[in-house]
């Protein structure tokens, strides 16, 4: 029983690795008002031909959409984080959830690319950070092999690029939530 309680206590920390979730309190606004503000934000900032709304329901108080962004970094293939964003509404608060994050790489004419769950990259984030550092590579060579600075730099570049893309993806997910939070907190315009 103690182990189960301990697991339940730490469960929210495990989900942070692949999901970005927040509940935001906004006093004085009804669920309908919050829905309307969020719906306008989706229409102006998010929805496109490639990212349609999957659910848009005032009665249940939910908006769900798929999203995709393009990130690039030298010495790496193009990187497309794909995700689902869900916003739920109650009087005085709303909940943001970004989940189902995957990365599409190797996209080129005639090939739709390779899709990898973002969690696989997150699990190896420290590895990419270390092996993207020239000094770390020189100080941790395979036994019996001496690695010079030029070789270490060449070896580090692709891993450093992947590490930077992991960080950029995390930043983009947090930035998306921040932009929605900013729009939701603005006072209603007088007209």
Work out how many domains the chain is built from and give that number: 1
**Lowest-confidence segment of 54-63, 71-80, 126-135, 163-172 by average pLDDT:** 71-80
Q: What is the pLDDT of residue 189?
A: 64
pLDDT in tens, 9-43: 433 433 444 689 999 999 999 999 999 999 999 98
Q: Is residue 4 part of a domain?
A: no
pLDDT tens digits along 133-165: 999 999 988 888 888 999 999 999 999 999 999
Per the structure, the complete domain to which residue 146 belongs is given by: 19-185
CB 94 within 8 A of CB 88: yes
Residue 131 lies in a domain: yes
User: Is 84 contained in some domain?
Assistant: yes
pTM of the model: 0.81
Structural domain contains residue 144: yes
Tokens (6 digits) for 49 = 């031909």
Q: Is the dihedral of CA 14, 17, 18, 22 positive or negative?
A: positive
Is 124 among the domain residues? Answer: yes
Q: Is residue 1 part of a domain?
A: no
Q: Is 7 inside a domain boundary?
A: no
Average confidence score pLDDT of the chain: 85
Confidence band, pLDDT 50/70/90 cuts, at residue 111? confident
CATH assignment at residue 30:
3.30.530.80
Higher pLDDT, 38 or 1: 38
Q: Cβ(103)–Cβ(81) under 8 Å?
A: yes
């Amino acid at each position: 029983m103690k182990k189960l309680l301990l697991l339940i206590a730490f469960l929210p920390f495990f989900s942070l690795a692949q999901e970005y979730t927040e509940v935001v309190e906004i006093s004085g606004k009804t669920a309908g008002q919050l829905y309307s503000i969020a719906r306008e934000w989706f229409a102006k900032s998010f929805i496109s031909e490639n990212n349609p709304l999957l659910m848009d329901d005032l009665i249940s108080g939910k908006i769900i959409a798929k999203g995709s962004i393009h990130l690039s970094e030298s010495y790496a293939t193009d990187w497309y984080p794909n995700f689902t964003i869900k916003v739920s509404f109650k009087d005085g608060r709303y909940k943001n959830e970004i989940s189902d994050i995957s990365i599409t790489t190797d996209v080129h004419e005639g090939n739709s690319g390779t899709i990898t769950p973002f969690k696989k990259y997150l699990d190896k984030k420290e590895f990419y950070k270390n092996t993207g550092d020239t000094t770390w590579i020189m100080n941790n060579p395979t036994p019996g092999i001496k690695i010079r600075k030029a070789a270490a730099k060449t070896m580090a570049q692709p891993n450093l690029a992947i590490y930077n893309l992991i960080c950029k993806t995390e930043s983009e997910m947090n930035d998306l939530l921040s932009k929605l939070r900013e729009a939701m907190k603005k006072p209603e315009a007088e007209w």
